[in-house]
Every structure is written in C-alpha cells, then in structure tokens.
Amino acid sequence: MQRLASLFPIAEQLGDYSRDKLQGDLSAGLTVGVMLIPQGMAYALIAGMPPIYGLYASLVPLVLYAFFGTSRQLAVGPVAMVSLLVAAAVGPLAGGDPSTYIGLALLLSLMVGLLQFGLGIARFGFLVNFLSHPVLSGFTSAAALIIGLSQLKHLLGVDIERSHLIHEILLAALQQVADIHVLTLAIGVGSILFLIALRKWLPAIPGALAVVVLSTGAVWALDLAATGVNIVGSVPGGLPSPSLPPMDVDAARSLVPSALAIGLVGFMESIAVAKVYASRHRYEVDANRELVGLGLANIAGAFFSAYPTTGGFSRTAVNDQAGAKTNAAAIFSAAVIALTLLLLTPLFYYLPKAVLAAIVMVAVFGLIDWEEATFLWRVDRKDFYLMVVTFVATLSLGIEAGILTGVIVSLMVVIYKSSTPHTAVMGRLPGTETYRNLKRNPEALTDSCLVVVRMDAGLYFANVNAFKDLVMEIDAEDDSLEALVIDMYPVNTLDSTGVHALKDVIETCRRNDVSVYLSGVKGPVQDVMNRAGLTSLLGPDRFFHEVHDAVEAAEHNTSLDPANLNLPTRTTADVS
C-alpha cells in the first residue's frame, strides 16, 4: 500500500475513505463540474479556441491530476491566465488558420507537460522561488486587465483584432464605437450585473450556470440570433478521440519560451492555492510531485484535445466550500463534463458569446490586487516598485515580456541585496554584557580605541567588498583605533573569496597596529578558516564565543582603559 501511495497519492487519501468523505467529494465534484461547463467554454474563447475545447481541457487533465497530484482540494482545468498565455504564444504562429491554431495549442500543451514533468522528476520545484509575490501580483493584475479587455469584442459585438497590448485593444474598440451592437452590449452588461448581484446577495447559486441557462433560453425564445446577437452555434458532441499533436519542429522551437512561461506561471498559480488549502486542512503538498501531476495532466491532455491547464483559484475555493476531502472530487467533476459532452452539447447552440465574455470579466477583474499594492506601499517600498514595474511591463510590452521583466528585476534585487548586506557598528548596553547596533541604541557605550562590527550575512564573493569597505572605513577614519572585534555569529558561510577578504582585513589592520579579534565563529566557518590557515594567521587566542569576552581580551592585551567606555558614540553607525 505504501509503495502504491508513493506512485499514486490518491491511494493514501482513499486508505481511510468513509461515507462522509464520499458525500463531500460527490457534492464538490458535482458543483465544480457544473461550474466548469460555462467557465471552461469562456476561457477557451480567451485562448482563441472554439468553446468546446474548454470542455475537453476540463476532462482528461482532471483525471490525471486526481491520480498523481498531492493537493486534495485543488481544481485543475482551464484558467484565464494560462488561456491568455496560450493565445499570446499561438496566435502569431497560426497565420489565421483555425486548424493550425488548434494543433499548435495542443503541441504547446504537450511541451508544457513535458517541461513540468521533467522539472518535477529532477526535483526543481524550488524554481518557484524565483517568482516573488510582488512580481506575481503585478503580473496577475495586469494580465487580469488584458484578459478582461480582450473580451470587449464579444461584449460589444464588434470585430477587434486580437492583441495582448492593452492600448491597442482600447484604441481598436474606440475606433468602432459607431458599430457597437446595442442588443449584444445590453446582454453582456446585464449578465455582468446579474453575476455581481448573485455573488453579493445569493452566493449559494452558481451564477455562471444561471446566467448561461437564462440567456440561452431568452435568445432561443426571442430569436435574438436573427437580430445579430453572436451565439456559440453548433457544439460537437461526444468525448474527444485520442490523437497525436502535430510534431512541427520549427513551431516547437518557437514555442519553447512560451512553454517555459506557461509551465512556471501555471505551476506558481497552482502551488500557491494548493498550499493555502493544505495548510487549512493540515496536510502537506509536495512541490516536486505537484509538478509531476500537472505535467502528466498536460501531457495526457495534449493527446485528448486539451490545451494547457493548471489549478485555478476560484474553482478550488468552490471545491473546498462544497466539501471536497480527496482527489476523488476531481474524478466526479470529470464525470459531469463527460456527461455534458455526451448528451448536453446541443443545449449550448443559442448561448450568446457576450455572456461568456461577461463570465470572464467578472472572474478576472477580481484578480486585480489593489490590497496587495497598498500593503506593499505601506510595508516595503522596494517590493511595491517591483510590483509596479512588472505591472507596467506586462501592460506595455505584453504578457511574456512582462513576466520576464519581473523575474529579471527580481533577480537584480536579490543580487543587490546580497551584495549590500546589513552591517552595523555596535556598543555595549549600559549595565550589561550585551552589544547592539549603535544606530538603534544610541545610549550604548563605546571606546574610541576599540570598535565592534557585525555583518548580517554569510561572507562570500558577492558581498566581500561591503565587508572590507566597512572595516577599512573605520580603520582609516580614526588614528586612535587599537583593536577591532568582528562579531562572526551571523556569518553562516565563508567561501574562498571571503577567506581572501578576511585575510586582507587582518593584514591591513596589522600594518596599522590594530589587533583583530573574532567572536561567535560557527563550526563550519571555523573549519574553512582552519583549512585556509586563517586560524594560525590570526592566532587561536583571538577567537571567542561571546563579543564581550573578545572585548575584555582586547582591553587586557592593549592599552585600552575600560573606564573610557562612556564616550560619545561614533558617527559610523550603520551601513545598509
């Protein structure tokens, strides 16, 4: 059983299956399945695919993830963000040919799946750390605007050329104001208001399904299609047949950057929501196994007419609220989709595309993260500016360029922070043996002939200059300096460049008749210093466990007078 569970996490989940869990999974499966029908069709439009492909993407991937995924509440399927990325990737390559477009979307699904599966097997789940929360918030907020406005052509009933630049979409819409189909606009705006009202006052009613049923019935009864209201039309029935995605090497090469973006962004969206509900229900999700589960879902989906999928925020919330206890809920959702494909597709003939656009707009505009922006402005301005840069880049440069810009700027921030660690000159708190940062504790006692310094980071190639600059500045500005105590307790790592920097500091201080003492050196760092000869260079008697012990040794071995420890604090207090 344990070996089976290692391959199929659902086996462990079903090990103690009970009637209560079955009821919860069945209720959640039916609810999410019903929700997926209109939502999947709407998201297919974002991806530039016929609506039926939204249902195809809601079938096989759900079943595969149910067997291999570790989250018990995550609802996998088509999502707005990935759908938009698919359209951005495939549109320029399809040349306006619908069959080529569909084939490239399925090829992209296969590539995304292989990428995610490979990263999971290689245990590269840590890559998610390179997409910081401000970057994701900025990207998601901008993408939400692009996704919502991309549906204007369906909401207004006009032909707007596909674009993923917000200014191009708005300009094209303004140029066709005179051609707006008023009845289509009325249906779309009415659907938006209806969905918002249901969400606010009757949240128990599945708004998307309700508006689909009512609008389809109204269009059929009043024959509104004859007046120019754009409808879905014939929807092919039956389950998708297995087929091989087109293997076009040139197209695959062109799709590699998009596959990477979709694979990482989709995984990030999925793992973020999975962790929220895992924490709420007190179990663990494995990032690497999640990559494997999502990868297999996309690989299998590519052979059954599914474009790339991932876990969705809104559906997962509904899945949890409806009582999902295990991944069996996803299998029940897939059964609802399969039943719809087999029996119910003719009912969607008169469904207005304006209603699907309304469903998309209401869903995605809630992703614009105003709260996160105000929070970052209040707490961390650097992260706020990082969010703004990603937001503006996504709106002005496009989806893929936006996320790439955010990642690059994030890495630049990491490198900058790594190369400029927090450093401090310390003094002794009155009446204690405790030493603290002078900038935050101006009452701390100091001696003009002795300085205690600390760097709150490992000492390695990226930050050695910051460390040397701190020490050299102190040594150069005061001719009375006789001893330097370096608090090494925050230093967890020491590389070869750090060894050379520390050696330079020791030798420079010796030339200036300044004694160097180290305190709080940890075992791994001490091992490196021993192998590098720094211990013998400095002398074993210059190493101490506590800062105060090092200070006392310095006072004893030099001409320092402990009575001087009540002088005004030094001006060099903090470098950060």
Write down the H helix ranges in 380-441. Answer: 381-397, 399-419
Residue 137 lies in a domain: yes
Domain of 182 in residue numbering reads as 2-412
Residue 418 lies in a domain: no
Instruction: Please report which confidence band the pLDDT of residue 116 belongs to, taking 50, 70 and 90 as the band edges.
Output: very high
Domain termination residue (choose one: 352, 380, 412): 412
Domain termination residue (choose one: 412, 441, 476): 412
Taking only the tens place, the pLDDT of each residue in 220-252 is 999 999 999 999 988 888 999 999 999 989 999
pLDDT at 199: 84
pLDDT at 478: 67
Q: Is 0.85 topped by the overall pTM?
A: no
Q: Indicate whether 457 and 401 sit together in one domain.
A: no
pLDDT at 15: 79
Residue 417 lies in a domain: no
Q: Going by C-beta distance under 8 Å and a sequence separation of 6 or more, which residues neighbour residue 10?
A: 66, 67, 326, 327, 328
Q: Indicate whether 447 and 493 sit together in one domain.
A: yes
Taking only the tens place, the pLDDT of each residue in 282-320 is 898 888 999 999 999 999 999 999 999 999 877 888 888
Taking only the tens place, the pLDDT of each residue in 369-378 is 888 899 999 9
Taking only the tens place, the pLDDT of each residue in 331-381 is 999 999 999 999 999 998 999 999 988 988 887 787 788 888 999 999 998
Report the alpha-carbon distance of residue 73 to residue 31 in Å, rounded. Answer: 13
Which tokens belong to 45?
Answer: 């439009």
Q: Indicate whether 398 and 519 sit together in one domain.
A: no
Q: Indicate whether 389 and 460 sit together in one domain.
A: no
Report the alpha-carbon distance of residue 488 to residue 50 in Å, rounded. Answer: 63
Contact 332, 150 (CB under 8 A): no
Q: Indicate whether 405 and 483 sit together in one domain.
A: no
Q: Indicate whether 391 and 441 sit together in one domain.
A: no
Which tokens belong to 21?
Answer: 């869990």
Q: What is the mean pLDDT of residues 431-435?
A: 92
CATH of the domain at 550: 3.30.750.24
- Most confident residue range from 111-120, 172-181, 416-425: 111-120
The number of folded domains in the chain is 2
With a pLDDT cut of 90, the percent of the chain lying above it is 55
Q: Which of 269, 366, 207, 292 is nearest to 74 (CA)?
A: 269
Residue 247 lies in a domain: yes
Q: Indicate whether 123 and 65 sit together in one domain.
A: yes
Report the alpha-carbon distance of residue 284 to residue 278 in Å, rounded. Answer: 6
Contact 476, 506 (CB under 8 A): no
Q: What is the mean pLDDT of residues 394-415?
A: 82
Residue 131 lies in a domain: yes
Q: Indicate whether 399 and 443 sit together in one domain.
A: no
Q: Indicate whether 283 and 161 sit together in one domain.
A: yes
**Number of Cβ within a 10 Å radius of residue 385:** 16
pLDDT of residue 572 exceeding 70, the answer is no
Sign of CA dihedral 140, 113, 100, 358: negative
The identity of residue 109, as a single letter, is: S
Q: Indicate whether 384 and 430 sit together in one domain.
A: no
pLDDT at 563: 44
Q: Indicate whether 527 and 401 sit together in one domain.
A: no
- Burial bucket for residue 273 (CB in 10 Å: 0-12, 13-18, 19+): buried
With a pLDDT cut of 70, the percent of the chain lying above it is 94
In Å, what is the CA distance from 331 to each residue of 38, 221, 283, 363?
A: 18, 35, 21, 24
What average pLDDT does the structure give for the chain?
Answer: 88
Cα three-residue angle 24-28-34, rounded to 5 degrees: 150
Beta bridge partners of 437: 426
pLDDT of residue 31 exceeding 70, the answer is yes
Domain termination residue (choose one: 359, 391, 412): 412
Q: Which of 130, 156, 345, 85 is nearest to 237 (CA)?
A: 345
Classify residue 302 as left (phi > 0), alpha (psi -120 to 50) or beta.
alpha
3-state SS, one letter per residue, for 229-263? CCECCCCCCCCCCCCCCCCCHHHHHHHHHHHHHHH
Report the alpha-carbon distance of residue 445 to residue 429 in Å, rounded. Answer: 6
Q: Indicate whether 514 and 548 sit together in one domain.
A: yes
Residue 157 lies in a domain: yes
